[in-house]
A and B are shown apart, each in its own frame.
Chain A
């Protein structure tokens, strides 16, 4: 297991380098010179050139990337071109919001997806299965932002039960924190929950027809123990794989949801950074997002060993 973890961590390093290089390249290719925006009111060409020189934007691409990488390796992701805030400070200030949103959404997706998928998988062909299957298809089809807008309409505007926008830190007011995240987390959770439900249903219905499940039932084990101890654990492997994929997609979804609910997270930071051509900020946010994705992938890989001991030995 430790070997697996070390291997995964070692593979992550070149992967992060490739990601950072690609993102840096893509940002430089995006049209729009930040020096024009930074040079002030009605600037003349000399003022724009002075800004370009000061920011190092006249340096060759590889030199710019090398300077950024050298700083990043020492823990310095640079300073925002527009707010004078260091990239780390900005990210750390907003990371709790995004992590809160992502964890709540993932938790909701797992609970909802596994519960609905298990019930449907245990009763294939019944009306429960059909309703769950249709519901999951709808859940996959509807976009995050539409669900978010409908939730705001129903639970914040027409029935003022929950806040429509904003965020309260957990340390400041746990109840307020939860209330502010319920709607965005639900909007974000629906699609992953649907995918997890479909995968769980397929896995559970397959596992339930396996010999060892029949044997466990024949031994006189209670249905709860048969499902909980034998069926679900063996059905979990494909579900965990799907969970990993959905978790990664969900991180991308936070960009849209944070805009819709005015949540001060790193998705909003990335959005603002892209539109203002704040290169260091975009680069920093993408790097942090890439680390989060790699972390999720490692957790998923390691969890395979728990669910299937044979993997641990390979």
Chain B
């Protein structure tokens, strides 16, 4: 009996401890364990070993080494070392010269003229010139290309002279500058276009490295090319990308020296700190979004969407992510040019009373019910449970259906059979790609086809400026209109990206668009 009693006491103690630890996910005023922060990675020094190997470890592999045959956004990470783009999007998300040294907009913002670098060739010896750019853009516009949709505004490509090319559009050529910073702007030797095996063993690259070994889904090795046009961007002899879907395996790899750098999920942050690794972090353009199908449930009502915005406690969601997601209500964070700097989380404060009032005004005083499809990973489900509790407080009953990511897109965007989804939205090379997807009537992430004339007009207007500064005012107006309408994609928070690395790594930049580039990174020799 004594033993049984002892076990019971121990059991109750464990339950109490678990209950205490789980308190952060509730709907009240939870304490955020950790504030989102920015901690820069160790900068580049003069002492890096140019013969060294830098090993990065990521969770998923690429689908091709041909920039037009990739099928996932993440694949671009594996292409950056091999292919230079016409434009480079830097770590802040700002376009910088790369294979195009400069550019100008003309003809009322419909033509983008690019002045090309004249001192570079593709890895197979083919000269890099305007004709090769024309061939690349025309290939990327083929219906089968991954980049076809991004370049759909381009109506023709004109060679002005060997070092100048003009992209003629039917409107919004300014957005092309950012778009040409991703796979849509990656330049591949035309001689390699139809070469068999090019998508596994590329020979027609234009970047700082050549791919020299590839085990799909496991390992990629790159070797630096000689006489690269930008020598400051190459500080190692070899780059290795390892792939493992297991979070612990990646962290163990960095701790034991099998890899130099990896990214961290929230659950890996403290173990990485505790093991003495260098951890740096930076805000990203990625966000968690609750996206509603306005053709289903009660989501066609602006008041209902406003009520949902007020019902959700974004601080509680930040707590669930251990502070790795800063509360926000716009698709992009306020520091990005494509945002409205005046619209912060206070635009839709956590206010259950106001939410109930809005529901009553919408004729739904007793609330309603809907189903949320969510990616079947722990963190997403924890966030969904916070939302479920928040919405229940105002009378909205939300059921949660965990599904795999492949099914999520199929149900929501293709079959349009899901009421709502919860997912992470990563940034694209230009904000117009996502605003088209979410805000235009035929957008992939807008199954209800919800839009307004003003929002559609502002989306296209924001594509016209030549620079971020020129485009920013239109985006500020666009996101004001989006906030006013309580658009069907309810942004919850913006992610912070942490990296863990050993203490010899220098010059790694965390790109805001989550593109994971290692341009200029180096390794200091061990003492």
Residues on A facing B (Cβ under 8 Å): 31-34, 36-45, 47-48, 50, 80, 82-85, 90, 93-94, 149, 152, 156-157, 160, 163-166, 259-262, 264, 268-269, 271-272, 275-277
Separation in Å of the B390 CB from the closest CB of chain A?
28
Task: Please give, as numbers and ranges, the residues of chain B lying within 8 Å of A45 by CB-CB distance.
Answer: 414
Q: Are B443 and A157 in contact (CB under 8 A)?
A: no
Q: Are A43 and B244 in contact (CB under 8 A)?
A: no
Q: Are A43 and B149 in contact (CB under 8 A)?
A: yes
Task: Please give, as numbers and ranges, the residues of chain B lying within 8 Å of A37 by CB-CB distance.
Answer: 71-72, 406, 409
CA distance A34 to B414 in the complex (A): 12
Separation in Å of the B396 CB from the closest CB of chain A?
26
Q: Are B216 and A85 in contact (CB under 8 A)?
A: yes
Q: Are B410 and A33 in contact (CB under 8 A)?
A: yes
Q: Are A262 and B407 in contact (CB under 8 A)?
A: no
For A163, give its contact among B63, B256, B436 (CB under 8 Å).
Answer: B256
Q: Are A36 and B63 in contact (CB under 8 A)?
A: no
Task: Please give, as numbers and ranges, the residues of chain B lying within 8 Å of A80 by CB-CB distance.
Answer: 216
* Interfacial residues of chain B within 221-247, with CB under 8 A of chain A in the complex: 242-246
Task: Please give, as numbers and ranges, the residues of chain A lying within 8 Å of B145 by CB-CB distance.
Answer: 40
Task: Please give, as numbers and ranges, the residues of chain B lying within 8 Å of A272 by CB-CB distance.
Answer: 61, 217, 245
6 A-B interface contacts by CB (under 8 A)? A37-B71, A149-B248, A259-B249, A262-B246, A264-B219, A276-B406
Q: Are B406 and A259 in contact (CB under 8 A)?
A: no
A-B pairs with lowest CB-CB distance, top 3: A32-B406, A264-B218, A42-B444
* Interfacial residues of chain B within 397-422, with CB under 8 A of chain A in the complex: 403-404, 406-407, 409-410, 413-414
Task: Please give, as numbers and ranges, the residues of chain B lying within 8 Å of A33 by CB-CB distance.
Answer: 406, 410, 414
Q: Are A84 and B69 in contact (CB under 8 A)?
A: yes
Task: Please give, as numbers and ranges, the residues of chain A lying within 8 Å of B71 by CB-CB distance.
Answer: 37-40, 82
Q: Are B143 and A41 in contact (CB under 8 A)?
A: no
Q: Are B414 and A48 in contact (CB under 8 A)?
A: yes
* Interfacial residues of chain B within 83-132, with CB under 8 A of chain A in the complex: none
Q: Are A47 and B143 in contact (CB under 8 A)?
A: yes
Q: Are B69 and A31 in contact (CB under 8 A)?
A: no
Q: Are B61 and A42 in contact (CB under 8 A)?
A: no
Task: Please give, as numbers and ranges, the residues of chain B lying within 8 Å of A156 by CB-CB distance.
Answer: 252, 256
Q: Are B404 and A275 in contact (CB under 8 A)?
A: yes
Q: Are A165 and B253 in contact (CB under 8 A)?
A: yes
**Known contacts being A33-B414, A40-B148, is A271 close to B406, with CB within 8 Å?**
no
Residues on B facing A (Cβ under 8 Å): 61-64, 69, 71-73, 143-150, 199-200, 215-219, 242-246, 248-250, 252-253, 255-256, 258-259, 275, 403-404, 406-407, 409-410, 413-414, 428, 433, 436-437, 442-445
Chain A residue, CB-CB nearest to B445? A42
CA distance A31 to B409 in the complex (A): 11
Q: Are B149 and A164 in contact (CB under 8 A)?
A: no
Task: Please give, as numbers and ranges, the residues of chain B lying within 8 Å of A166 by CB-CB distance.
Answer: 242, 253, 258
For A84, give its contact among B144, B148, B200, B219 (CB under 8 Å).
Answer: B200
Q: Are B200 and A260 in contact (CB under 8 A)?
A: no
Contacts A83-B64, A262-B242, A264-B219 known; list 19 others, CB within 8 Å: A31-B404, A31-B407, A33-B410, A36-B414, A40-B145, A41-B433, A42-B433, A42-B445, A43-B444, A83-B63, A83-B216, A94-B215, A164-B255, A165-B258, A166-B258, A262-B250, A262-B253, A268-B217, A275-B404
Q: Are A259 and B244 in contact (CB under 8 A)?
A: yes
Task: Please give, as numbers and ranges, the residues of chain B lying within 8 Å of A85 by CB-CB distance.
Answer: 200, 216
Chain B residue, CB-CB nearest to A48? B414
Q: Are A165 and B256 in contact (CB under 8 A)?
A: yes
Chain A residue, CB-CB nearest to B63? A82
**Known contacts being A40-B145, A84-B64, A160-B256, is A165 close to B249, with CB within 8 Å?**
yes
CA distance A261 to B343 in the complex (A): 45
Separation in Å of the B488 CB from the closest CB of chain A?
16
CA distance A207 to B336 in the complex (A): 78
CA distance A197 to B249 in the complex (A): 31
CA distance A85 to B217 in the complex (A): 11
Separation in Å of the A36 CB from the closest CB of chain B?
5
**Known contacts being A80-B216, A152-B252, is A36 close to B409, with CB within 8 Å?**
yes
CA distance A82 to B71 in the complex (A): 8
